[in-house]
Amino acid sequence: MNEDEKMSLPAYNKNILCIGAGYVGGPTMAVIADKCPDYRVTVVDINEERIAAWNSDELPIYEPGLDEVVKRNRGRNLFFSTDIAGGIKSCDIIFVSVNTPTKTYGEGAGMAADLRFWEKTARQILEHAKSHKIVIEKSTLPVRTAQAMARILQSGADGISFEILSNPEFLAEGSAISDLEYPDRVLIGSGSTEKALHARDILVDIYARWVPRERIITLGIWSSELSKLAANAFLAQRISSINAISALCEKTGADVTEVAMAIGLDSRIGPKFLNASIGFGGSCFKKDILNLVYLYRFYGLHECADYWEAVVKINEYQKRRFLLNMLKAMFNTLAEKRICLFGFAFKAFTSDIRESPAITVARGILEERAQVVITDPKALAGARQEFAAEIERGEVTLAKDPYEAAYGCDAIAILTEWPLYRELDYREIYRNMRKPAFIFDGRNILDHSKLREMGFHVYPLGKPPLTDSGKD
């Protein structure tokens, strides 16, 4: 680039705005503020309550290490606010991290991404921008959304330029802070004009403060958008694959943990993400796969759509199968029994219950007219919201203390792999349960033979049950 060309490139100030103060926006911005003290980072949201919580001692989400990072930087170069218009005016680098749930209405309902919030944000940026902006997609979006964003932004801009970048987030809840601090890779997708590359380099420089340069991958914008969907689809596919194997293990007497270990030792397969479970949950996997399926159908690629859709179907089947196994083990009736759920979050170390398989299992148990007692170290607020009516009617009870939760119950179902569930005194728990007492370990985290010795009828996942009837 010659000097004249450099001169004509837009200048951006060092104020970063993030629109959307959720599970992605909050932690990501806290880490950027931490690593880039010369940038001023503001996180805005339409939800006043959420912003008030970000400004309080009780953050709106639980994430190990998050409190410390926020406290270290809040009021210094990290701010939380509801002034979206003011933020857009004063910040030239804008991350968009609003939610893109699955559409529940109209064309593509149940499949496509609902881009309402996202489009509203694009229009707000256009309305309030008074200087050149770099707009960065953080939310997972269908491929080619950046183009739509560019079209909206370019529709009315007067002498102002907008460069759109895709910078998908790969953090997993529960380990968000370490994922952000030590990412496997950071993707930055951009166009190929000088201006686009200039904007891209500004974002590269931000990440390069703490991420080794070789882990910052620059690529085309569509590849970047598709990589996010593809990564989540691959991860979810591994879980459905091992869960499908677990079903066969239960029929044949094989042990899914042994099979997972055996296949994971093949370096081409690798050991991670091979834990059989009651199914994957969380805000991303199902939504992103359905999004991918919608894209395939849109392009007439129905065979590929069916392939990925099966990953979601197996996941639904796994949750259902877990429930049916409980029913069968407990003499084909759960009516008037008390079932205690150990864990309600969709995974350990988070308070998030979005798409948690525990919701499906709990609803299934309620349909069988049993009572449900839920305990979880972090997700009881979510459970209270989810089952407000059932709690009111006395069908669901919440208990912080697992001993209290299991008291008088017929069965315990381990639904979230919180380490504390390994440490409990199951002898005492057994003493206080109705007999025969059952444990359904949906995460395979307990010592099954010890539990059997204590007297429990034990039903691991993807392994033979340890029970009277299982001995033959």
Q: What does the per-residue mask of binding to ligand UDX show for 349-378, with x meaning CB under 6 A?
A: ------------------------------
In whole angstroms, the minimum distance from the beta carbon of 291 to ligand UDX comes to 13
Contact pick of 26, 183, 189, 282 for ligand UDX (by CB under 6 A): 282
Spatial neighbors of 407 by CB under 8 A, at least 6 apart, are 432, 433
Q: Are 112 and 293 in contact (CB under 8 A)?
A: no
Which is nearer to ligand ADP, 12 or 346 (by Cβ)?
346
User: 27 touches which of ligand UDX, ligand ADP, none (CB within 5 to 8 A by kind)?
Assistant: none
Minimal distance in Å, beta carbon 173 to ligand ADP?
Answer: 8
Stretch that binds ligand UDX, among 55-63, 262-270, 277-285, 402-410 (CB under 6 A): 277-285
What single DSSP character describes residue 51?
H
Per DSSP, 468 falls in state T
Beta strands per DSSP E along 21-168: 40-44, 78-81, 93-96, 133-137, 162-166
Residues 67-106 that bind ligand ADP (CB under 6 A): 84, 97-99
CB closer to ligand UDX out of 277 and 351: 277
Residue nearest to ligand UDX (CB): 282
Q: Which of 172, 245, 327, 424 is in the footprint of ligand UDX by CB under 6 A? A: 172
Minimum CB separation from ligand ADP for residue 289, in Å?
Answer: 16
Contact flag: residue 54 with ligand ADP (CB under 6 A): no
Q: State how far Cα 93 lies from the chain centre.
A: 25
- Tokens representing residue 426 in the block: 């199951």
Give burial (CB, 10 Å; 0-12/13-18/19+) of 69.
buried
| CB-nearer residue toward ligand ADP: 116 or 434 | 116
Site for ligand ADP in 225-284 (CB under 6 A): 283
In angstroms, how far is CA 392 from the centroid of its own chain? 29
Residue 77's φ and ψ, nearest 5 degrees, are: -130, 20
User: Nearer to ligand UDX by C-beta: 92 or 179?
Assistant: 179
Tally of residues, the chain:
472
Q: Contact 142/101 with Cβ under 8 angstroms?
A: no
How far is Cα 452 from Cα 472, in angstroms, rounded to an integer? 15
Mark the segment that binds ligand UDX (CB under 6 A) among 40-48, 92-100, 271-279, 293-301.
Answer: 271-279
Cα–Cα distance, 245 to 240 (Å, whole number): 9
* Site residue total, ligand ADP (CB under 6 A): 21
CB of 334 to ligand ADP, least distance (A): 34
249 is catalytic: no
Core vs surface per residue 383-417: b (16+ CB within 10 A) or e? beebbeebbeeebbbbbeebeebbbebbbbbbbbb
In this chain, which residue has its C-beta nearest to ligand ADP?
22
Q: Where in 6-65 is the site for ligand UDX (CB under 6 A)?
A: none
Min dist CB 55 to ligand UDX, Å, is 25
* Distance from C-alpha of 230 to C-alpha of 31, rounded to nearest angstrom: 25
Task: Decide: is 284 part of the binding site for ligand UDX (CB under 6 A).
Answer: yes
169 near ligand UDX, rule: CB under 6 A = yes
Residues 380-399 that bind ligand UDX (CB under 6 A): none
How remote is the C-alpha of 62 from its chain's centroid?
13
Q: Is 171 in the site for ligand UDX (CB under 6 A)?
A: yes
From CA 213, how far away is CA 191, in angstroms rounded? 20
The correct pick among 9, 46, 53, 157 for binding ligand ADP (CB under 6 A) is: 46
> Alpha helices of 209-301 — where are they, by DSSP H?
221-252, 256-264, 285-298
Residues 6+ apart with CB under 8 A from 115: 100, 141, 142, 145, 148
Catalytic residue among 36, 249, 284, 409: 284
State how far Cα 225 lies from the chain centre. Answer: 17
149 binds ligand ADP (CB under 6 A): no
Residues labelled catalytic: 284
Q: Which residues bind ligand ADP (CB under 6 A)?
A: 19-25, 44-47, 50, 84, 97-99, 117, 120-121, 139, 283
Q: Which residues bind ligand UDX (CB under 6 A)?
A: 169-173, 232, 235, 239, 273-275, 277, 280-282, 284-285, 346-347
